[in-house]
């Protein structure tokens, strides 16, 4: 398990974050280049979808006009892969979000660590985990 998590950390750290920031600024989207998850890791996450005990709620996107498909919010404890990916990517993503907050004229900013963000969320009453897993059928979208 530790080896799998350290591979995730290495993949996140190897991303060209400067290029990702530039693409987001210039185009509004960015590709990571190399995959963050292996096919096996993706298959493991996909396999979780049918285990309702791993999730706290399900959303039918059509019902809310979000698209065509569904998603489920993970329950605690998060799968180790999700937990590791979130923890490793958060500092980079918070930095990007904070730059955008400045561009938009906001004085608010995200904490530099995931722990800081989760603590701020708890102080405001958000105690449930927010990572989710999407499922689309053929023709699905959001």
Q: What three-state secondary structure class fits 90?
A: helix
Report yes or no on 99 lying in a domain: yes
Report yes or no on 76 lying in a domain: yes
Report yes or no on 10 lying in a domain: no
Report yes or no on 52 lying in a domain: yes
pLDDT for the residue numbered 2: 44
Report yes or no on 104 lying in a domain: yes
Q: How would you write 3-51 as a 3-class SS string? A: HHHHHHHHHHHHCCHHHHHHHHHHHCCCCCCCCCCCHHHHHHHHHHCCC
> Which pTM value belongs to this model?
0.87
pLDDT in tens, the chain (142 residues): 444 457 999 999 999 999 999 999 999 999 999 899 999 999 999 999 999 999 999 999 888 888 999 999 999 999 999 999 999 999 999 999 999 999 999 999 999 999 999 999 999 999 999 999 999 989 888 8
Report yes or no on 125 lying in a domain: yes
**CA atoms of 118 and 87, how far apart (whole Å):** 11
Domain of residue 86: give its range: 37-135
Report yes or no on 51 lying in a domain: yes
Report yes or no on 122 lying in a domain: yes
How many structural domains is the chain composed of?
A: 1
């Amino acid at each position: 398990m530790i080896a799998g998590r350290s591979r995730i950390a290495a993949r996140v750290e190897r991303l060209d974050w400067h290029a990702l920031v530039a693409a987001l600024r210039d185009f509004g989207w960015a590709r990571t280049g190399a995959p963050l998850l292996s096919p096996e890791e993706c298959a493991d996450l996909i396999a979780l979808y049918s285990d309702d005990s791993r999730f706290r709620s399900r959303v039918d996107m059509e019902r809310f006009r979000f698209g065509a498909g569904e998603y489920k919010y993970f329950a605690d404890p998060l799968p180790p892969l999700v937990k590791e990916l979130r923890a490793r990517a958060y500092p980079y993503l918070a930095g990007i979000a904070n730059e955008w907050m400045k561009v938009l004229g906001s004085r608010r900013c995200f904490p530099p660590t995931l722990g800081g963000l989760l603590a701020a969320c708890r102080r405001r009453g958000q105690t449930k985990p927010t990572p989710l897993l999407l499922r689309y059928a053929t023709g699905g979208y959001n």
